[in-house]
Chain A
Amino acid sequence: MADVVLTSTETKYFTDDDVSKTVSRAIDLLNYDFNHDFHFVVIKPSLCYYWDYSTSETTDPRVVSAIVDYVRGQLGNDVSIFVAEADASAMRTKHAFKMLGYEKLSRKKHVKLVNLSKGDIVDKEVSVGDKKFTLKVNKMLLESKLIINVPKLKYHRRVGISCALKNMFGAISTPGKYIYHRELSEVIVGINKIVNSDVTVVDGIIAKGKYPKKMGVIIVSDNVLAADYAAAKILGYNPRRIAHINLAEKEKIGDFNHINLVEDGTDLEEIRSAFPEQNYLLQKISWKLQLKMLKAYSKIVGDTIPPILEE
């Protein structure tokens, strides 16, 4: 049975203290067994681009800071904590760490920042359904006994929801992950089969649906699929209809029928009703249609397409 704790901040001011207490309370309620010989801990936030956490696109460094404090509280001050992210097609980790406040966090909390696209990288083969992939993975992720996945709670144009499973896609060492976009669901599931998230802490302090909204939500789980299951419900989607979530269940990353939802001072329905739901299928179709129309227009009329919209 996978546990999912759903909680929200006590106030709507989202102060550092408020965020810290909420994260700490949620992990407490998860009752995760930290009583192991963890030499080092890897925290994987979602830093997909140089967008500030207030845009709802990247993990709030205060959530990571609260996790660092919690882990130190459980494992002592000697445990090495690494905050790790890989380069993306458009994002370079060294700049994201600096721009999004993670260098400041590193100095304040004495944690190490790691670029997962550098260092010891190995090829790992994985099968998802009838497809086989070789993905490049940093050895640190394979050797760590405790990986804490800290995704955002957000809608995603391509896959519907970008949360815990999708955040691990960002951990693939290859910077140009755009090459995987044609089989995104399979690769998302593939990397989650290779790298197991021991604890997932979803940052829904500011969440994104149709627009960013201050929700003050934190979801914690000991199973990555269970976290996405709850997240999808909050976004107003049927988890079984989200291709990568459905595929993850088929690949036994988790089980929809064995999820124990703990609602702490709030309930999923209340959060879902406050969430600015985005009709992702409609959005996906309308976006594709607009691009097709633009291409056709450009071809017929001979007009230019601005560089930002070039495919």
Chain B
Amino acid sequence: MGKLHFMNTLHVKDVRLVAAADKNKKNLKMAKTYNVNAYDDYKRLIDSENLDAVIISLPNFLKEESVAYASEKNLDIFIDKPLARNLTESRNIVQRVRANGVRLMVGVNYRYIDSVQKLKGMLDEGRIGDVVIATSELIMDGPFSHPLVPKPVPEWWFDKDRSGGGALLDLGYHLIDVFQWMFGDLHTLYSTLQYRFNLPLEDSATVILRSRKTSTRVVINLGWFSRMVFPNFNFRINLHGTVGYACTDQFAPKNLYLHATKEGTLNLLRKIVGKKIHRLSYTYYYSSFAKILEHFFESIKNDTASPISLGDQLKVIGTIENIYRRNGVTVNG
């Protein structure tokens, strides 16, 4: 994800990417080709460069310490989800950024997927009515997706202490965040975790939540167990309301290959007439990463609060921790 943020940041208007840190030498070499200073230690980068903000795309076990380091230097921070491994770490992070008066935005990019934004628009307009039942699915291969150039899955993903959790923390974080954003104040009615792959981390989960605000019952099905070949994207949210029904699939491209061709052609035309291209729109899903990052930089430029509330993020991680405890999973911290 760090590399994706790197490439996206290079093209954000009025933003200059000055430095990148990575343990991977190939990535550092790549950074230099874009005239970006390269470091093999993020602390050295922060100490050496004159920065306004940092993007943190580190494994979960390094999140608390890296946010602490950046916020001590008064840097605004964008951080990949999840906020941290558990509620204690997340609270420490929020406390620290608030004390230092810096902006922290969590990269919950699913809120920025086109179809999710359209669904939220319909909900807010009242076109679905009061939503009684919401269901959702996000099933893929998570950290086990196989890139074109094969490389090993980082070891920390297999280690519960370092990752903090499995599919629920990884994918459930997105879905719970979206429903927290749509309905607010969620509490758990039922949950089950499964371990098909014999790892100490759950690879699928089914969760039923209820919003205290709207009484909506939310069903979440998620998993890492399914092999997914790009550009396929097994994700949907269904809202069943008193007025009608709406689903993200209604707003998503029916054929992702045709969509890629169409968006690629449009971007080519935009480029020719000197207009701003819609970054990664041809991939459908990945464009949400570019959009959320632009919002982060806009909030800095306009000196407004982050559009992602940290209170909501604490509720999301609190809900996940509660589900783990209900299922007898030990939560560190």
Chain A residues within 8 Å of B, Cβ to Cβ: 49-52, 55, 57, 88-92, 95, 98-99, 101, 103-104, 175, 178, 291, 297, 300-311
Contacts and interface: CB of A to CB of B under 8 A. Distances in A.
Contact of B197 (A50, A300, A301, A303): A50
Contacts of A308: 145, 147-148, 230
A178 B149 contact: yes
Given A52-B196, A98-B199, A104-B198, A309 B230 contact: yes
The interface size bin for chain B is 35 or more
A174 to B, nearest CB: 13
B148 A304 contact: no
Interface string B253-270: 000000000001001100
B181 interface: no
Interface string B144-158: 111111111100001
Interface in B239-282: 264, 267-268, 271, 277, 279-280, 282
A297 B198 CA distance: 42
A178 B146 CA distance: 13
A104 B283 CA distance: 40
B199 to A, nearest CB: 6
B264 A302 contact: no
A297 B268 contact: yes
Given A57-B227, A301-B264, A303-B264, 19 more contacts: A49-B144, A49-B146, A50-B153, A50-B197, A52-B197, A55-B227, A89-B151, A90-B152, A98-B197, A98-B198, A300-B271, A301-B268, A301-B271, A303-B277, A304-B8, A304-B279, A304-B290, A306-B286, A310-B148
B279 A310 contact: no
Given A98-B199, A104-B198, A306 B280 contact: yes
Contacts of B196: 52
B181 to A, nearest CB: 25
Contacts, number: 91
Contacts of B199: 95, 98-99
A173 to B, nearest CB: 16
Nearest to A293: B264
Nearest to A103: B198
Given A301-B267, A302-B277, A307 B227 contact: no
B4 interface: yes
B99 interface: no
A309 B196 CA distance: 28
B277 A301 contact: yes
Interface in B1-35: 1, 3-4, 7-8, 11
Contacts of A303: 264, 267, 277, 279-280, 282
A306 B283 CA distance: 8
Nearest to B228: A308
A273 B298 CA distance: 59
B152 A91 contact: yes
Interface string B180-206: 000000000000000011110000000
B69 interface: no
Contacts of B3: 307, 310
B225 interface: yes
Contact of A306 (B158, B230, B267): B230
Nearest to A306: B286
A127 to B, nearest CB: 27
B264 A52 contact: no
Given A90-B146, A90-B150, A104-B198, A307 B230 contact: no
Given A302-B271, A307-B3, A92 B147 contact: no
Contacts of B197: 50, 52, 98-99
A65 to B, nearest CB: 16
A303 B289 CA distance: 13
A304 B7 CA distance: 6
A209 to B, nearest CB: 15
A138 to B, nearest CB: 19
A306 B268 CA distance: 18
Contact of A307 (B147, B153, B279): B147
A297 B277 CA distance: 12
Contacts of B148: 291, 308-311
A90 B145 CA distance: 10
Give the most central of B145, B280, B282: most A CB within 10 Å.
Answer: B282
Give the most central of B152, B196, B199, B286: most A CB within 10 Å.
Answer: B152
B158 A88 contact: no
16 contacts: A51-B227, A52-B196, A55-B227, A98-B198, A175-B152, A297-B264, A300-B271, A301-B277, A302-B271, A304-B8, A304-B280, A306-B230, A307-B4, A308-B148, A310-B3, A310-B147
Given A95-B158, A297-B268, A300-B271, A306 B152 contact: no
A97 B158 CA distance: 13
A300 B198 contact: no
Contacts of A51: 227
Contacts of A98: 197-199
B151 A90 contact: yes
A178 B150 contact: yes
Nearest to B3: A307
B277 A304 contact: no
B235 to A, nearest CB: 16
A103 B197 CA distance: 11
A301 B276 CA distance: 10
B303 to A, nearest CB: 28
Nearest to B196: A52
A76 to B, nearest CB: 30
